[in-house]
Amino acid sequence: MRYPAEDTAEKHERIIHEASRLFRERGFEDVTVAEVMKAAGLTHGAFYSHFSDKEALVAAAVEYAMQGTLRSIQDSRGSQKERQQQLDRYLSPKHRENVGLGCAMAAFCGELRHEPEAQTAFTIQLKEIIKAMDGKRGEDIARLSAMVGAVALSRAVSDQKLSDEILRETRNALNRWLP
């Protein structure tokens, strides 16, 4: 039985959305295709009508998550106040704790070297994100690297006070750099 194209596209989007969330929360290796399909409300057997293999799903999920980051940056371009608010949201304990829907860059960086197809999707999207930022390319790369690194470090440490300090001090330093 064939499903309408809209239904198929909606299911495809659900699969990618759930995969992206689960991969950010637990990593590529610790999430099975069956878990992704269950989270999407679909059967495991339906997976192969959407993706050739798990590697293709990983690449699609990375691209999807990175496109969300790109939209966020595009939406917050403009005034210094808007950039300040974006920085404050990004370098916050709430963002640190919300791994599943948080920054794909901070969640995926450590794992991408093992996933060449996903690494390519990540690279393409990262270039678009850098282009979408407001300043000079070198400064944008430095600011983005500091932000992503701070979130990744704040998630990696076991000391809550240090984790909060990493976010706070990076936010303070970057606020001084804002034009």
Tell me the pLDDT of the chain (179 aa) as tens digits: 556 667 778 999 999 999 999 999 999 999 999 999 999 999 988 898 899 999 999 999 999 999 998 988 887 766 778 778 888 999 999 999 999 989 999 999 989 999 999 999 999 999 999 999 878 899 999 999 999 999 999 999 999 999 999 999 999 999 887 65
Question: By the 8 A CB rule, do 70 and 128 touch?
Answer: yes
- Taking Cα atoms as reference points, which of 32, 52, 36, 42 lies closest to residue 11? 42
Cα 175 to Cα 74: distance, rounded to the nearest angstrom: 19
Distance of alpha carbon 108 from alpha carbon 23, whole angstroms: 8
Residue 98's contacts (CB-CB under 8 Å, 6 or more residues apart) are none
Q: Which residue type occupies 90?
A: Y
pLDDT in the model for residue 2: 59
Domains of the chain by start residue, with CATH: 5-177 (1.10.357.10)
